[in-house]
Structure 1
Amino acid sequence: MDFFFWTHFVFLLFLAAHALGLQCYSCDGNSNCLDSQVCQEHQDRCRTTVMTTLTQSGISTYFLKGCDVSGKANNSISYLSKNQVVFLAEEHCESQLCNEETPNVLDVLLARGRQHRPMQCYSCGQAEGTCFNSSLAQMRCSRPGEQCVDITSFTMLEEEFSQDAQHIKGCGQLAHCQEPLGFHNQGSFYLIKCCNASLCNKETEDYKATPLPLNGLTCYSCEGNFSHGCAPNDITQVQCQGSMNQCLEASGIDGISGQSSVVKGCASSSWCDSPYTAIYKNLGAPYTRCCTGELCNNWIVNESTLKPSARSQADHNPTTSSVLLSSSLLLWVAFLLCSENS
């Protein structure tokens, strides 16, 4: 009788947990989490983001934990900012309260001392306005497998909003960064570069002041849902730049509202074959399609044509399609830059 009772009791607990949905530890501040939250229906991952700053006076750590949408991989970056070293790492997991542990910067520092020939990279943060200077600072990478990284992110706004232009150089372990990854439309521009030789990330171009050359392709451009942002009257055309020579359209679940969302624009083939759209647009369960014809990203025209699949597709020509990876990078860029500017 006791065995029968406890079996059913455990089963009822399982049903109750399932009905409540995924639970994750949740915090936003200088201390690690003891609280938890029940995730929304569209959130099926737990996230841990940790930013650690190292100065002469000591180490400080900022924690950001909670629920997140699918499509994001574990990644890390470190860079110099004024008189401090900033370490940023984000990890994702899928089970109940799985985001208890946090990346430990002490492990990173100890790894630095074990390397025989550590990578050297140029480093800067846009907050101090040094990324476009010819005399860039240098830093030694901490862990084997890190690359030199160069990240540009800005919105296509008027010049008085120039603080939206962001540039970071440093050391990192970023998913799918074997080739330059780029996306742009009428509203935003992203370019991510990684390289495997010391001091290989010296490039100081300002892509907002001097855009990349046009490549002759025109694509549809929009961001939002079918009533705002990607309504028929909101969709525009954009001339593609540089290596962003494919038209992209992606649909998925907005990570905040849980509503259907769409993105259209120009992308490099490497971006199409990676999950970065999910990160930079906070798009969960993304379906991504890329194509090479003029204005060919016109398949997603209303909510009835949204693809519900959590897997992505890239159509490199009308008769060929391939399944893309649906894991992704992290939301660290927005989190990091907001922390720098606060």
Structure 2
Amino acid sequence: MRDVEFFWISFFLSLMVTHVIGLQCYACNGDSNCQETEDCEEYQEQCSTTVMTILTRSKISSYFLKGCDVSGKPNSSISHLSGNQVVFLTEEHCGTELCNEGTLDVLDALTARGRQRSALHCYSCSSSDKNCFNASLAQMRCARPEEDCIDITAFTVPEEFPTDEQRIKGCGLLSHCQEPLGFHNQNSFYLIKCCNFSGCNDDRQDYKNTSLPLNGVTCHSCEGNATHGCSPDDITKVQCQGPMTQCLEASGIHGISGQSSVVKGCASPSWCDSSYTSVYKNLGALHSRCCTGELCNSWIINGTLRPSPRSRASDNTTVQRTLLSMGLLLSLTFLLSSGSS
């Protein structure tokens, strides 16, 4: 009987300890031989590994970044030309203890490229080239046949990204990219497009200086928190462009500052169905919703997304978790009292 009691006490304690301790990941900056670890914050539910490899005629150099990251970010890879270099950027995520131990090696893809006959040829440039809008664009051959041609535009006010990352064309594997992925408000503009035949990413429009056509939808716009950036006095209205036909609002914890953060604006349906709000706004513990209708993204009050009156799923989940925790504590208390009697 004592053995049974000891088993259940250990089991319940292990469940509670696991809940408190959280995830641990390998963490390093620049070196592939990563032995250091870090304890993740509660809102950081993934480990990440990012590798940037730069290929020139004379050498190959790689830069490694590992650590904790917010949940929801998908695995992705991008390659593009930058001057006389080819830049490969790969990012992978996982959700178990110290799961980001290994290193990603772009050399495998480069070695296999010579044996492949069906890889696409895509237009390629970056903002550092200052030629993404020119009539003559360079082309590159993709490293793997499963890669698409990609075209990524990302800029913010004030700038959050390096200038050379505001526009990238090349090859890549990106999730949810069957339709244009787009989000914009008064502070940000993101547009991600993928296509699957050679030379299809030839769009040369300068979205920073020439807006997409308005689509007739108006949404609330803000970025910040409940007191700075997204307070009632800070929220403005934005007329939606192009494929961004829905209103989006999201709240979460910023992956770097650890502070509560809110974002509102216009989004494409594909963006709403994807995790790119976490990717570009670096938000963990994300609560997000999209809606159709004039200025419908008005549910976030004081930085918190209130549940829909027609859906109590979030409330039910909280209640179930609370009951489960209470059940564990009651069972543990019962076993302890039984053992002492």
TM superposition score category, shorter chain reference: 0.7 to 0.9
Equivalent residue, structure 2, for 1:328: none
CA distance in 1, matches of 2:185, 2:77: 26
CA distance in 1, matches of 2:294, 2:166: 30
Return the offset for 1:290: 1.1
Return the offset for 1:111: 2.6
Return the offset for 1:20: 4.1
Residues 229-308 of structure 1: pairs in structure 2 closer than 5 A: 229-306=229-306
Cα deviation digits, residues 218-243 of structure 1 (max 9, x gap): 10001111111111111111111111
Residues 20-39 of structure 1: pairs in structure 2 closer than 5 A: 20-39=21-40
Whether the aligned pair in 2 keeps the contact of 1:156 and 1:189 (CA below 8 Å) is no
Whether the aligned pair in 2 keeps the contact of 1:69 and 1:283 (CA below 8 Å) is yes
SS of equivalent to 2:279 = helix
Whether the aligned pair in 2 keeps the contact of 1:251 and 1:306 (CA below 8 Å) is no
Change over 3 Å in CA distance of 1:14–1:24 after alignment to 2:
farther
CA distance in 1, matches of 2:29, 2:144: 27
Equivalent residue, structure 2, for 1:97: 98
Query: 2:49 is aligned with what amino acid?
Result: T
SS of equivalent to 1:114 = coil
CA distance in 2, matches of 1:167, 1:304: 33
Alignment: residue pair count: 306
Return the offset for 1:141: 0.5
Return the offset for 1:171: 0.3
Change over 3 Å in CA distance of 1:105–1:238 after alignment to 2:
same
Equivalent residue, structure 2, for 1:46: 47
Identity %: 66
Change over 3 Å in CA distance of 1:167–1:58 after alignment to 2:
same
Query: 1:74 is aligned with what amino acid?
Result: N
CA distance in 2, matches of 1:156, 1:244: 19
Residues 160-239 of structure 1: pairs in structure 2 closer than 5 A: 163=163, 166-239=166-239
CA distance in 1, matches of 2:183, 2:200: 22
TM-score scaled by structure 1? Answer: 0.82
Equivalent residue, structure 1, for 2:142: 141
- Structure 2 unmatched runs, 5+: 1-6, 315-341
Return the offset for 1:32: 3.1
Whether the aligned pair in 2 keeps the contact of 1:148 and 1:171 (CA below 8 Å) is yes
Whether the aligned pair in 2 keeps the contact of 1:147 and 1:194 (CA below 8 Å) is yes
Query: 2:293 is aligned with what amino acid?
Result: G
SS of equivalent to 2:233 = coil
CA distance in 1, matches of 2:164, 2:144: 31
Cα deviation digits, residues 160-211 of structure 1 (max 9, x gap): x994871000000000000111100000100000000101001110011111
CA distance in 2, matches of 1:223, 1:132: 29
Whether the aligned pair in 2 keeps the contact of 1:245 and 1:292 (CA below 8 Å) is yes
CA distance in 2, matches of 1:80, 1:21: 40
Root-mean-square deviation over aligned CA pairs: 3.0
SS of equivalent to 1:76 = strand
Return the offset for 1:82: 0.9
Cα deviation digits, residues 72-99 of structure 1 (max 9, x gap): 1111010111111111100011111110
Flag the structure with larger Rg: 2
SS of equivalent to 1:102 = coil
Whether the aligned pair in 1 keeps the contact of 2:127 and 2:164 (CA below 8 Å) is no
1:152 aligns with 2:153: yes
Change over 3 Å in CA distance of 1:165–1:77 after alignment to 2:
closer
Equivalent residue, structure 2, for 1:87: 88
Equivalent residue, structure 2, for 1:331: none
Equivalent residue, structure 2, for 1:60: 61
CA distance in 2, matches of 1:146, 1:286: 29
SS of equivalent to 1:271 = helix
Change over 3 Å in CA distance of 1:25–1:218 after alignment to 2:
same
Query: 2:114 is aligned with what amino acid?
Result: G
SS of equivalent to 2:64 = strand
Return the offset for 1:260: 2.5
CA distance in 2, matches of 1:131, 1:23: 41
Q: Judge which range, 32-41 or 206-215, deviates more.
A: 32-41
Whether the aligned pair in 2 keeps the contact of 1:154 and 1:164 (CA below 8 Å) is no
Whether the aligned pair in 2 keeps the contact of 1:30 and 1:62 (CA below 8 Å) is yes
Whether the aligned pair in 1 keeps the contact of 2:219 and 2:296 (CA below 8 Å) is yes
CA distance in 1, matches of 2:162, 2:69: 29
Whether the aligned pair in 2 keeps the contact of 1:155 and 1:164 (CA below 8 Å) is no
Change over 3 Å in CA distance of 1:202–1:16 after alignment to 2:
same
